[in-house]
Structure 1
Amino acid sequence: MMPPATNIQVVMEKTPVYFDRTPYDLPERIKTTVPNVKLILVVCDPVARAFSDYVHERVRSELYHSRMVSTYGTFDGYVDAYLPKLKELMRDWENENPTIMSNALSRLFMKDLDATVLSSGIYTVHLHRWHRVFNKTDLRIVDGNRFMEDPGSIIEELQDFIGIPKLLLREDFVKHPETGYYCYRRFKVENLSNETLSSPEVLKKSLKCLADSKGRTRNGKLAPSEEATRKLREFYEPFNQDFFRKIGTEYKWK
């Protein structure tokens, strides 16, 4: 279903759902269909990710009148309901066959969609099935926290990874004077002048930013309770450490 492309073009798409969802052989299907594919996996602190996902699903519940996580009233209520279930499922994960565990988590989506707010952050188990098919030459893992702090540098690295000319540079990404989030400076001659950076009003007009629906939990207005954060940190810690060991680097998620 991809659009036709010439041999000097690269086609891309983005979605969060491939990484941890069925069918289990999804990596093999992708590799067979697009043999030269390059994959970019963006991960962030699983505690922050879980809370962000919860808030997102609450908004969806209100928009589409579905119950889902809104049944639990609060994030603490959700955590208290689902964390014991995930702990039971993952009780002996280190001694289990990693393929069996990875398959069990991907099937969880079909049985209990609410559980994926927490289970999606167990990166090390989900990564197993992707590492069976893809290696560092075709799968690049990006720390989402660093992406928020320095998107331009990441974009430069990813252009090299994909193998395309480096046309987007670090200086093309500028912090919005009001939100504090990085935006992309539109490529126009007038946007490249020093005047753009010296005038906040001119700068804002030159920027292409994410929609207002993004960053709901990154602006400090919404945050999980200390108790829910503590419980989730304890739960994710062994999975995080195993994930860092597999990728050969450690992210600062605390």
Structure 2
Amino acid sequence: MPSTLEGQITMEKTPSYFVTNHAPKRIHTMARDIKLIIVVRNPVTRAISDYTQTLSKKPEISNFEVLAFKNRTLGLIDASWSALRIGIYALHLESWMQYFPLSQMHFVSGERLIVDPAGEMGKVQDFLGLKRIVTDKHFYFNKTKGFPCLKKPEDSSTPRCLGKSKGRTHPKIDPDVIRRLHKFYKPFNMMFYQMTGQNFEWELEEDSGSRSSQD
């Protein structure tokens, strides 16, 4: 971690912290008053996005449908597959709550971050005790990527968009598999909503049907 001067905030990120068993204890030992920001999205979409990223690097891997089940005939989900296990957010949050109170955690909706980036960033700035400097004027939606891009309104520099690894079209997944995964995650989602006090409304996506999306 870089040195932090008075009046500065040092930030560090990696997706693996939240799902790494020994991370909460180690981070608590280092800085028990740290503020934690966790970005989550519909676990079904997250799993497909995870698979899409892996597929781009290892095109020889099995189909999503094969990896998702221990026994598809019986409908037994393979929760040991990391792409699926990561989305059991309640399980991971339990580990963090052993060391940190919810008051030190802020949960960002991945879905709302796309449709209302300024709104979500406003909440993050409030959580960190910062003035709301990043606003609507700092974003524009890139239709090709399917994500908002960050720009500096005070100059004409090229907006900063997500890299080539983002924005890939997801492979088509059997709707029955999507339905089974929504059913699998639902009790864990409900537990996560209760633990965080936030309803991320992922079940609404299930009700409206599976969406063709990008990672």
Name the TM-score, length of structure 1 as normaliser.
Answer: 0.72
Q: Secondary structure at the match of 2:198?
A: coil
Determine the structure 1 residue equivalent to 2:118.
152
CA distance in 2, matches of 1:223, 1:169: 35
Pairing 1:96-135 to 2, within 5 Å after superposition: 115-135=81-101
Counterpart residue number, 1:224: 173
Q: 1:41 offset after TM fit, Å?
A: 0.6
How many angstroms apart in 2 are the aligned matches of 1:177 and 1:215?
10
RMSD of equivalent CA atoms: 2.2
Aligned ranges 1:14-53 → 2 under 5 Å: 14-23=13-22, 26-53=23-50
The structure in which a higher percent of residues are helix is 1
* Unpaired segments ≥5 residues, structure 2: 206-215
Partner of 2:159: 207
Q: 1:57 to 1:179 in 2, by over 3 A?
A: closer
Distance across 2 between alignment mates of 1:44 and 1:244: 12
Identity over aligned pairs, percent: 32
Instruction: Give, in angstroms, the shift of residue 36 of structure 1.
Output: 2.6
CA contact (8 A) 2:145 2:167 kept: no
C-alpha separation between the residues in 1 aligned to 2:91 and 2:146?
Answer: 34
Indicate conservation of the 8 Å contact 1:174/1:182, yes or no: yes
Contact 2:151 2:159 (C-alpha < 8 Å) held by counterparts? yes
- The 1-side partners of 2:5 and 2:171 are apart by 45
Correspondence for 2:58 among 58, 61, 68: 61
1:249 equivalent in structure 2: 198
Give 1:180 deviation, angstroms.
4.2
- Specify the alignment match of 1:161 in structure 2: 127
One-letter amino acid of the structure 1 residue matched with residue 165 of structure 2: S
- Shift of residue 177, structure 1, vs aligned partner: 5.1
Task: Give deviations 1:180-211, integer Å, cap 9, x for gaps.
Answer: 4211112434x5xxxxxxxxxxxxx6421111
- Tell me whether 1:8 sits opposite 2:11 in the alignment: no
Q: Which runs of 4+ in 1 moved over 4 A?
A: none
Give the letter aligned to residue 175 of structure 1.
Answer: F
Instruction: Name which of 52, 64, 79 aligns with 2:68.
Output: 79
Larger Rg: 1
Figure out how many residues of one structure are paired with residues of the other and give that number: 200
Judge conservation of contact 1:155–1:170 (CA < 8 Å) in 2.
no
**Structure-2-length-normalised TM-score:** 0.83
